[in-house]
Copies of this chain bind each other. A is one copy, B any other.
Amino acid sequence: MEDEIVSKKSVVDYKKSQYRRGVLAELYQSGLSTLAQLAKGLHSSVPSMTNIVEELVEEKWISTFGTAVGNHGRRPVLFGLNPQNKYIIALDVSTHDTKAVVMNLQRDVVYRKEVDLRLEDTSQFADNLLTLTENVLTESGLKPSDFIALGISMPGLIHFQSGMNLTYRRINHSDDSLGSWISEKTNLPVFVVNDTKATVLGEHRFGLARGKKHVLAINIDWGVGLGIILNGDIFQGASGFAGELGHIQVDPEGELCHCGKVGCLDTITSATSLMRRVRRGLKEGRASKLSAYLEKIDQIDIENVIEAARQGDSFAIDILYEVGTELGKGLSIAVHLFNPEIVIVDGIVVKAGAFITNPIGQAINKYCLSDFRSDLSIEISQLGEKAKWIGIHAYVLDQVISSL
């Protein structure tokens, strides 16, 4: 019954809704646009755009930003997403801490909080994350009605359809996903996205990969993740698991991985395993500046290794080289399969700069067919940790807009 009422006038409504979404998406990407630009971009006319835009201004989605300068003739009015009235919360969850960021529609950070909440596979974690969220809601000083959505990025296999994190199953409350549980409690739409996918989306929309059609972003952190942009969109695969590079087998005689298989790329290249090999090497008596840490060997961390490499420590350099080579080998597989225009390297390891990118580049040269390399550039992320918040923001806004 209700369905029939909705389907009345359906065609007109559908088209209008398409235009509304189009305008918001366009303004999100462009920052500021004139009516003429919007009309052209959406294959519509200026008077039509005037209508749509007026409506969206009314609803506080967009606002005017003065007029454009420079050209001859009458200066056109600029429109952009409203920097007030509507806010998004981004929770960047990892295994070592959690960051909460409140942003307006223009991605300006209006509130930030970093807490010592580590992702672990317990139901307690969900409770803590909810508490954090509620704290952010009040501490930010904004009206509850000003928040339009909450985005959470975290590692793990996140089932696209249900939002369940299958790697950390206990954080889901019974058969409800963490996301829908928090959504219920906070009365906000919640979107959960894999951290690497958020990162690549950030890099694609507002970073180095802007405007590229096919992008790979490799994120080297506590594990290895591959974020993929295809045809300008984040690529999820059938269930949301696409890009699981960390668990392809690279060494049949390698170490046992936590996933249960043997010789996964993760067992060689993740920061965890890198540190394991550093400690083993030091214990075996390898000559290195890092030997100074021998007594307190558990306190040594990856930044120490990178620092040592910078100072010319050959043990540290070797270790990084080894990791970079294996990463490059894994990446060349992905390059052969995806044929991207650009590969972005991201994560903790980027602090190692050329110590890690050189071997990656070398391995790609060695293991990739030349035709794949000719139009391919390999870059280090410039957005850094911001890429993730921006990616969450873009992901959430995409979802919100498309549900409008």
A95 at the interface (CB under 8 A from B): no
Pick the residue among B231, B244, B371 that contacts A337 (CB under 8 A): B244
User: Does residue A5 face the partner (Cβ distance < 8 Å to B)?
Assistant: no
Q: How far is the CB of A198 from chain B (nearest CB, A)?
A: 17
- In chain A, residues 3-52, which have Cβ atoms closer than 8 Å to a Cβ of chain B? 11, 14-15, 43-45
Q: How many chain-A residues does the 8 Å CB contact rule pick out?
A: 47
Contact with B along A341-376 (1 / 0, CB 8 A): 100000000000000000000000001010110011
> Closest Cβ of chain B: how far from A310's Cβ, in Å?
31
A339 within 8 A of B: yes
Say if the beta carbon of A383 comes within 8 Å of chain B. no
**A86 contacts the other chain (Cβ, under 8 Å)?**
no
When the two chains form their complex, are residues B259 and A369 in contact, meaning their CB atoms are under 8 A apart?
Answer: yes
A238 interface residue (CB < 8 Å to B): yes
Per-residue CB proximity of A258-279 to B under 8 Å, as 1/0? 0101000000000000000000
Asked if A205 is at the interface of the complex by the 8 Å CB criterion, the answer is no
A249 to B259, CA, bound (A): 23
Q: How far is the CA of A239 from the CA of B239 in the complex (A)?
A: 27
In the bound complex, residues from chain B placing their C-beta under 8 Å from that of A329 are 249
Q: Which residues of B contact A166 (CB under 8 A)?
A: 371
A141 contacts B by Cβ under 8 Å: no
Shortest Cβ distance from residue A5 to the other chain B in the assembled complex, whole angstroms: 17
Nearest opposing residue in chain B for A159, CB measure: B371
**With a CB–CB cut-off of 8 A, which chain B residues contact A336?**
241, 244-245, 247-248
Within A202-250, which residues are at the interface with B (CB < 8 Å)?
A: 213-214, 226, 228, 230-231, 233, 235-245, 247-249
Number of copies: 2
A338 at the interface (CB under 8 A from B): yes
Q: Indicate if A157 sits at the interface (CB-CB under 8 A).
A: yes
Q: Say if the beta carbon of A340 comes within 8 Å of chain B.
A: yes
Chain B: minimal CB distance from A398 (Å): 15
Query: Which residues of A, 294-341, contact B by the 8 Å Cβ criterion?
Result: 329, 332-334, 336-341
Determine how close the nearest CB of chain B comes to the CB of A372; give it in whole angstroms.
Answer: 6
Contact B214 A237 (CB under 8 A): yes
Specify which chain B residues have a CB less than 8 angstroms from the CB of A228 in the assembled complex.
337
Q: Which of B45, B333, B337, B338 contacts A11 (CB 8 A)?
A: B45
Query: By CB atoms of chain B within 10 A, which of A11, A166, A231, A369 has the most?
Result: A369
Contact indicator A157/B371 (Cβ below 8 Å): yes
B369 pairs with A242, CB closer than 8 A:
no
Q: Known: A231-B231, A238-B375. Contact between A44 and B339, CB under 8 A?
A: no
Do residues A367 and B249 form an inter-chain contact, with CB atoms below 8 A? yes
Please measure, in the bound complex, the distance between the C-alpha atom of A228 and the C-alpha atom of B338, giving whole angstroms.
10
A332 closest partner in B (C-beta): B248
| A340 pairs with B237, CB closer than 8 A | yes
CA distance A74 to B43 in the complex (A): 38
A131-170 to B contact mask, C-beta < 8 Å, 1/0? 0000000000000000000000000010000000010000
- Across-interface contacts of A375 in B (CB, < 8 A): 238-239
Q: Which chain B residues lie closer than 8 Å to A236 at the CB level? A: 339
Interface on A for B, CB 8 Å cutoff? 11, 14-15, 43-45, 157, 166, 213-214, 226, 228, 230-231, 233, 235-245, 247-249, 259, 261, 329, 332-334, 336-341, 367, 369, 371-372, 375-376
Top 6 A-B pairs, shortest CB-CB distance: A237-B339, A242-B339, A238-B341, A241-B339, A244-B336, A248-B333
Q: A157-B371, A231-B231, A261-B367 are in contact. List 18 more A-B contacts (CB 8 A).
A: A166-B371, A213-B238, A214-B238, A230-B230, A230-B231, A231-B233, A237-B338, A237-B340, A239-B371, A242-B338, A243-B337, A243-B339, A244-B369, A244-B372, A245-B336, A259-B369, A337-B337, A337-B338
